[in-house]
């Protein structure tokens, strides 16, 4: 069998959890070659100096992101914080390389909405005209032809997928949605803070961003697009004392008659050709998807309260970030969408 040319990719921003998970997935991806991994604060060090699990596996030297401007690349992953990514997208927008941005800088419908929720001006509003929201289960065809992907947030991925089948059929009351979600500590990023200090997190459990979390509007926009109706949700995130994983429990009132058989059928039909969504017979836990690209969903009809309860579980660093970015890359490059993403969940 002849060797074929691999696609050249770069990861901009290597120091965080998402950058390291991207490298782990892409290192074993059969169709790509990691040409550059960048870090401004660790330039000159080896990638394995930052992430010892890669010793002897990925030892390449970290370079400045300036190298990217003149590199021959097919895909650039931006594993950068929001507010910083937009500057790179603006600078790189003239290049032939396709960009997958893992920050929140282009996820929303307009720069005005972004500025209202992220409390900072957007320096590249033109990017919103071309950015595609990178949730493959909903937007695969648009993703295939895109030059700029806004990789979804981790909470929105779990939340949107939990209710997408019902929203797409316009079967839920759009002002009845409540989403109660919990995330592992890695969702807060690699930099420690008072909130993420071990003594605050260990044996503790708390809500945060009550009524104000910026992922709220991201979920509202996507569910609203599906139903073609303005959607208002109540979203409350919580911090779990675990490394990784998200569990989202969504509640909604249905339009019209509903029962368990009908509800399950709606979900199974909607996700029938989506290989990474699994419809469960029982409520999933975060260990059921840990280390994988799966989203497990349990749709439940509560006859007593006349309410749909949909419980979803993902790995926040993978389906909620890095593996979703690789899924988007596969679609953008015309590859089989499951390529390099068939890791079996780690349990226990």
DSSP secondary structure letters along 172-211: B-TT-EEEEEEE-GGGG-SS--TTT-HHHHTT--EE-STT
Vertex 267 angle, CA 264 and 273, to 5°: 130
Vertex 317 angle, CA 222 and 113, to 5°: 30
Contact 49, 75 (CB under 8 A): no
Q: List CB contacts of 156: < 8 A, sequence separation 6 or more.
A: 107, 215, 218, 219, 222
CA distance 150 to 27: 22
154, 163, 332, 341: the catalytic one is 154
Three-class DSSP category at 319? coil
| Rg of the chain over all Cα atoms, to the nearest angstrom | 20
Vertex 251 angle, CA 250 and 253, to 5°: 145
ω into residue 348 within 30 of 0, thus cis? Answer: yes
154 is catalytic: yes
Please, is 278 exposed, middle or buried when counting C-beta atoms within 10 Å of its C-beta (0-12, 13-18, 19+)?
Answer: middle
CA distance 334 to 345: 26
Residues classed as catalytic? 154
């Amino acid at each position: 069998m002849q060797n074929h040319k691999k696609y050249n990719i770069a990861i901009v921003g290597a120091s965080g959890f998402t950058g390291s998970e991207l490298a782990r997935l892409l290192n074993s991806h059969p169709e790509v070659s990691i040409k550059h991994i960048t870090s401004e604060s660790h330039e000159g060090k080896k990638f394995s100096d930052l992430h010892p699990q890669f010793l002897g596996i990925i030892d390449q030297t970290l370079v400045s992101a300036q190298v990217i401007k003149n590199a021959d690349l097919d895909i650039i992953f931006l594993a950068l914080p929001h507010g910083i990514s937009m500057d790179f997208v603006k600078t790189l927008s003239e290049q032939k390389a396709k960009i997958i941005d893992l920050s929140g800088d282009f996820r929303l419908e307009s720069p005005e909405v972004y500025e209202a929720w992220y409390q900072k001006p957007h320096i590249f509003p033109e990017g919103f005209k071309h950015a595609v929201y990178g949730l493959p289960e909903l937007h695969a065809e648009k993703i295939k032809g895109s030059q700029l992907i806004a990789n979804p947030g981790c909470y929105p991925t779990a939340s949107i997928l939990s209710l997408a089948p019902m929203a797409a059929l316009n079967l839920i009351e759009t002002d009845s949605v409540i989403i109660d979600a919990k995330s592992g500590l890695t969702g807060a990023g690699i930099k420690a803070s008072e909130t993420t200090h071990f003594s605050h997190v260990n044996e503790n459990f708390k809500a945060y961003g009550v009524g104000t979390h910026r992922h709220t509007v991201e979920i509202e926009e996507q569910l609203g697009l599906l139903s073609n109706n303005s959607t208002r949700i109540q979203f409350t995130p919580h911090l779990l004392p675990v490394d990784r994983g998200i569990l989202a429990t969504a509640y909604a009132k249905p339009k019209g008659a509903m029962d368990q058989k009908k509800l399950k059928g709606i979900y199974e039909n909607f996700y029938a050709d989506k290989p990474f969504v699994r419809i469960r017979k029982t409520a999933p836990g975060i260990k059921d998807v840990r280390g994988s690209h799966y989203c497990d969903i349990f749709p439940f009809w509560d006859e007593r309260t006349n309410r749909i309860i949909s419980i979803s579980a993902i790995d926040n660093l993978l389906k909620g970030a890095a593996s979703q970015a690789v899924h988007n890359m596969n679609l953008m490059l015309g590859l089989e969408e499951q390529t390099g993403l068939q890791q079996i969940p780690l349990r226990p």
